[in-house]
Chains A and B, each alone.
Chain A
Amino acid sequence: MPEKSIRDMNALEQKHNSLSAKTFHAVLLITVILGLTAIVFGFSLYYTAIRSQYTNKAADLSKTISSLLDADEIGSYTDRVMGVFESLPEEKRANPESAEYNVRFGGIEDAKYRRIQLFLQKVLSSNGASSIYIGVADPEATHFVYVFGTNRFSTYRHPGYWTPIDSETKSAFEKLQTLSPLESMIPVIIDRSEAGEYMCTGTETLYGSDGSPIGNIVVKISVSEAARLGRRFLWQYCLILLAAALILDFFMVRHLKRKVVKPINDLAGAAAEYVADKRSGLGSDCHFDHLSIRTGDEIENLALVMTGMEQDLNDYIENLTAATAERERIGTELALATRIQADMLPSVYPAFPDRPEFDIYATMTPAKEVGGDFYDYYLIDEDHLGLVMADVSGKGVPAALFMMVSKILLKTAAMAGLSPREILERVNEQICANNREEMFVTVWMGILEISTGRITAASAGHEYPVLMQPGGRFELVRDRHGFVLGGMSGMKYREYELQLDPGAKLFVYTDGVPEATDAQGGLFGTERMLGALNRIPGGTPEEILRMVSRHVKAFSGEAPQFDDLTMLCLHYIGPASQKEANTVKELTVEAIVENIAPVTAFVDEQLEALNCPFKAKTQIDVAIDELFSNISYYAYRPDTGPATVRVEVQKDPMAVIITFIDHGVPYDPLAREDPDVTLSAEERAVGGLGIFLVKKTMDDIRYEYRDGQNILTIVKHI
């Protein structure tokens, strides 16, 4: 197994690792192993056969010669030769080549001797033997004395000639001595001769008619020819084997390429093309069909499976496209539903531009696509403002549908002139009459009498409202809850009243505010909500809601919003009948420090008429100094421009409302953070004290930027 993936290989490595290459190597290896095994077995058989053939031949020749010759005749020659040999002293025997030695044996070679010699030569040549000798070996078998002898080179050995016994003949003699005379086996030895030739040597003892041993016949046959044939066979066999292996390999690889590699490559190519086509969205839907792989084996099966898979995938993609389109359609409808729901809630501000008696602002931030929270406000008649804050159980489309119904029912009941208690009781009955899904809604319903600031309210299991009286802090109103709407038929609700003084603010909300969670699951809580509200008790309803919203978001951090965030804030400014009686005086001067004195004088003039207490007047004077100097320094810097000071006097409760208007750069002085008044003289910064003083001494301060004007209003009760 290659450790690298095929994608990481270069072309050469891929070729080396291809199926063809692997098959080639495998076939070659198998052929060579089989061939070598065949050689080992074949050659050992051949060797055994040759050995047995030559052994038999040597033995047969020895036997034939011994049976055809007259043993006693041979014996007489042997006796004569050995007689001469033994009569010679040791030194005379030393050189058998010498003529002096040779002449000692003269007279032995008579006609009969020559006939026997001739017979031996015929046997030699007709049997292909190398040499045939008849002679006597000494008891220690160190040398051999020839009586008769011939060889294939026709080297003549005269009688009495002797030679040292060669190693193979000696081995044959030694073997002969281990056999008893009764055994008819001829000892044969095949060994490499001293001349480097493989020789098969057989020997037999000749016995006379009286049974005494006369001498030995030694027959030698060369095996070299057979060995040469064997070697040639081996070479030819190897060459043929290699050629056969290569040819076999060639055909195997060609077959493999045609029947396996090409179909697999075709499949891989079609798969790659399929992927490319799907990515680009072009091309045909049939990549595997036309490959026509007809191998009839697993590969054809694979091709069929791939064809089927492509069809299945095409079907699947088609279904998925349809499903996605369906989901998108649902998503679009949900978005539309969210918008319709949002449109159901009044969200154009200022909500009642022609009603100066109050200011109202409300928001809803749904947690899911559509939520179940809602708020509502509407003028029931000229003097009554209906206020609703509600939370439907559950989430999503069902909650939204239920919310629509509840909202309409509540408004219909309110417009019929019913009191909050009656409204809740009637709507509860209406909802309970057709509520198989057992949904319910918590509602806080209040009706403000605009002329008096009195709110009549009732709660159907809703959160406590929060009230701030002028000059005070936002505090919970622990009202009595009735049961939720839609929970049970025949429920009774209790009504209560809240008196709003001019300047009071009311804040109602759903549980999404106090129950907003942070990442650790901790709750925002009512205390944090009140804390956020009291950061800017003097802010407009919109500013107050933004402040709460910002605090909730900062608290939640990355945690998902689980519940809708819905809030409504009402600022009760005061009855219109008194406002209409307000006297309004206005002065427009150039915004320069030198004009602080005239402006102060203008305002003081109005205050004199009211018998304004000295302390309030002083505080108002300081406020004018601070605010008008700010405008002088910053509004038109480095130029100057006009500034308008408007003084309104409000009776019951007696108050002075002073408005500063300039057309300079937008600047909200209230956005500035209050200075830390606990610091020592050395640590104190010089800025921000003026606005801080004004905030502390006035009863209300408001800023807005409208129609290109900075409008800053202060209210001082006197």
Chain B
Amino acid sequence: MTIEKTINGTALTVAVAGRLDTTTAPELDASLKASLDGVTDLTLDIHALEYISSAGLRVLLSSQKTMNRQGVMRVSGANETILDIFEVTGFSEILTLV
């Protein structure tokens, strides 16, 4: 998994590629927690993300809760497999998918 951050004022774009699973989720979690201070507009670019497991979902849920308090969060470019997972887990209702 690779993480790439782009900051533009209070807007943060995080591009995640590869696999977001049990082993890699803690890394993303730590990275996001370190960068979200003062961010009002978070975009998660996951077009290059192959798949996501429940550990990854937990990180998304946690970020969404944080951003609910300080701004907006968008998730962009999810592939078909990941959209399916968002659908069955009800995450498509929680996340703002673009």
Interface residues, chain A, CB within 8 Å of chain B? 593-594, 596-597, 614-615, 618-619, 621-622, 625-626, 628-629, 676-682, 684, 686, 689-690, 692-693, 696-697
Q: Is the CB of B89 within 8 A of A681?
A: no
Q: Is the CB of B50 within 8 A of A697?
A: no
Query: In the complex, which residues 12-71 of chain B have their Cβ closer than 8 Å to any Cβ of chain A?
Result: 19, 21-23, 50-55, 57-58, 61, 64-65, 68
A-chain residues with CB within 8 Å of residue B22 when the two chains form the complex = 593, 596, 625-626, 628-629
Within the assembled complex, what's the spacing in Å between the Cα atoms of A646 and B19?
23
Q: Is the CB of A682 within 8 A of B65?
A: yes
Q: Is the CB of A681 within 8 A of B65?
A: yes
Within the assembled complex, what's the spacing in Å between the Cα atoms of A93 and B94?
154
Q: Is the CB of B53 within 8 A of A693?
A: yes
Q: Is the CB of B54 within 8 A of A693?
A: yes
B-chain residues with CB within 8 Å of residue A681 when the two chains form the complex = 61, 64-65, 68, 94
Q: Is the CB of A686 within 8 A of B23?
A: no
Residues 79-98 of chain B: 1 if any A CB is under 8 Å from the residue's CB, otherwise 0? 01100110011100110000
Contact among B19, B23, B50, B88 for A677, CB-based, below 8 A: B88
Q: Is the CB of B21 within 8 A of A692?
A: no
Within the assembled complex, what's the spacing in Å between the Cα atoms of A681 and B94?
6
Q: How far is the CB of A638 from chain B (nearest CB, A)?
A: 18
**Tally of contact residues, B, Cβ under 8 A:** 25
Overall SS of chain A's interface: helix
Interface residues, chain B, CB within 8 Å of chain A? 19, 21-23, 50-55, 57-58, 61, 64-65, 68, 80-81, 84-85, 88-90, 93-94
Within the assembled complex, what's the spacing in Å between the Cα atoms of A629 and B22?
7
B-chain residues with CB within 8 Å of residue A596 when the two chains form the complex = 21-23
B-chain residues with CB within 8 Å of residue A692 when the two chains form the complex = 54, 88-89
Measured CB to CB, the nearest residue on chain A to B94 is A681
Measured CB to CB, the nearest residue on chain B to A679 is B90
Within the assembled complex, what's the spacing in Å between the Cα atoms of A597 and B89?
24
Q: Is the CB of A696 within 8 A of B61?
A: no
25 CB contacts below 8 A, A to B, read: A596-B21, A596-B22, A615-B84, A618-B50, A621-B21, A621-B51, A622-B51, A625-B53, A629-B21, A629-B55, A678-B90, A679-B90, A680-B94, A682-B65, A682-B68, A684-B61, A684-B94, A689-B58, A690-B53, A692-B88, A693-B53, A693-B54, A693-B88, A693-B89, A697-B88
Q: Given that A593-B23, A622-B85, A681-B94 are contacting pairs, would A690 and B54 also be in contact in the complex, using a CB cutoff of 8 Å?
A: yes
Measured CB to CB, the nearest residue on chain B to A622 is B53
Q: How far is the CB of A471 from chain B (nearest CB, A)?
A: 15
Within the assembled complex, what's the spacing in Å between the Cα atoms of A625 and B80?
19
